[in-house]
Amino acid sequence: MSENAPSIGDLMLASVPMTATLNLEFLETGADRAVVRMPDQSAYHNHVGGPHAGAMFTLAESASGAIVMSAFADQLGRAVPLAVRAEISYQKLAMGPVTATAKLGRPVAEVVAELDEGERPEFAVEIDITREDGAVTGQMSIVWTLRPNR
């Protein structure tokens, strides 16, 4: 990306309104890892004072979207990334700011090779959601696809 090109985080905030609504902060966006932080906001708390499950889902999904956009930016002219399915587990009470760290489950080259062969590849993104003390409060797995343009 050139110095003047918007970052993946800027693009996500501009094109996915929910990311701006939740005031998500895109701390790291690369093809190997994406890190997104959600500040503590009482407007998005649940009945026990932590971030609502839906806000945590959106945080994790946004981190996965950032890594997908980073990893496959050069494929966007011929394919659209789409989430296929997701599973999330809430493991510990999340209080305060939370951070989602996403990692791609397959090598980029392997996914692109399937796309080159005319397939519609699927690949997982694994996300850990952590509190500021480092405790994992949730984990999410999202299966994405690259749907070829027609």
What mean pLDDT, rounded, does the chain reach? 95
Check residue 123 and give its pLDDT. 98
- Quickly state the pLDDT bin for 1 (edges 50, 70, 90): very low
Nearest to 64 by CA among 105, 34, 38, 99: 34
**How many independent structural domains does the chain possess?**
1
Name the nearest CA neighbour of 97 among 9, 7, 25. 25
Classify residue 94: in a domain, yes or no: yes
Express as a percent the part of the chain with pLDDT over 70: 97
Is residue 120 included in any domain, yes or no?
yes
Does residue 92 register a pLDDT over 60?
Answer: yes
pLDDT tens across 15-70, in order?
A: 999 999 999 999 999 999 999 999 999 999 999 999 999 999 999 999 999 999 99
Three-state SS string over 11-37 comes to: HHHHHCHHHHHCCCEEEEECCCEEEEE
Q: Which helix (H) or strand (E) holds 103?
A: strand 98-104
Residue 3: pLDDT band by 50, 70, 90 thresholds?
A: low
**Residue 1 belongs to a domain:** no
Comparing C-alpha atoms, which of 69, 57, 58 is closest to residue 108? 69
Phi-psi region of 11 (alpha: psi -120 to 50; beta: other; left: phi over 0): alpha
Range of the domain at 110: 8-148
In a domain, 92, yes or no: yes
- C-alpha–C-alpha distance, residues 142 and 150, integer Å: 24
**What confidence tier does 150 reach under pLDDT thresholds 50, 70, 90?**
confident
